[in-house]
Structure 1
Amino acid sequence: MEKNTTVQEEKKLLRSKIRAVLKEKYSDREKISSLGKSACKRILEDENYLSADIVLSYIPYGFELDSTFLTEQALKDGKKICVPRVEPDSSSMDFYFLTGELPLTAQLEKGSFGISEPKGTLQKLETDFTLNGKKIFMVVPGLAFTEKGARLGKGRGFYDFYIPRLIKSGCSLFAAGFCYREQVVENLPVEDTDFFLHCLFTP
């Protein structure tokens, strides 16, 4: 118990440190968008993305690196792409399919944390046997990452709970971190339940 408590304390301190750096350096929306577009272009050229049956991305919030260019381009390319919607007052999250037939903003609404989410009327990605053998490319946000794929999230555990569900479905998952260079650190406190990403994409 003592070891786990120490890890949690280390994570809390690092979250505060990274948030302060992001707040100081990334308050300009145009800068966030430009850097996000640069990182997205790297993904759009990656073989793991190109060969994926389904792409899982996210709707950026606050200082997060902007993934909008990837989402919009994937829709233009005819890719099946989903973004997350969380269950209020829980650590439960599901992904919903977007459509290229409507503007992105018309498919979103404000969620329980003030973050834009897909409308609940959209089709949900079911994490069951229908994903068996499917190639899924997942873009994962976070606060800090290591080059070896360790990730520090915001502390609510949404991806920690969701990724094992995906793996259990039998899909072939390629999970990529998406962040600013300032979010890449040498080491992170990890626990046995932490999932390691396959690679990182930065501007």
Structure 2
Amino acid sequence: MSMRLPDTEHTTRPWRIHEIAHDFRIEDVWAYRTPGAGPDDFPAMLAALRSGGGVHDNPTVVQFLFDVRWKLGAVLGWEKPEHGLAGRVRSLCDRLPSDLRQDTAGGAEPDTPFTLVYELPDECALELANKTVHTVCHLGWVPTGDGEYELRMAALVKTNGVLGRVYMAAIKPFRYLIVYPALTRKWERAWLNRDRHTLGA
């Protein structure tokens, strides 16, 4: 099962995201079990996540919450281009130092509303912006101390005024009670089924 971690488990590691998203607040830090993983398996983990389904491959109750969120956003105009990347906010891709600039930066992640900022052998960052927030999903590959490695996720957020703060407070119970448990099952299952995903790609 996943485990929520203190913010220091993210801030004390030498992730490149620190120099890029230094003005974002840490919302959550979680660890996900990836039994048998080694130091070079982060690309395999990312491939498994991408092949294992995006926002449309969820338990019914989670999919319902996502559907309600996107419909609400559409009605209230939260997802309009002028509220997103290169509209209300600039993409973090614009902040990348020269050694992190990649051809894939700024590309949409399949089956997700996120955009790739950068990807390295042990970490990657994805971003999303709308009228409520500008958020970063940071994924990292961390040794567990027993010779194996595990997936870490940090959610970094910059809220858009009162609307953003109210929105984050409103969805917090749903994240902890419904979304994160479902995400745990899906991501850990993706790792366990990684060979099947690779062969099917």
TM-score for both structures, normalised by structure 2: 0.30
TM-score (norm 1): 0.30
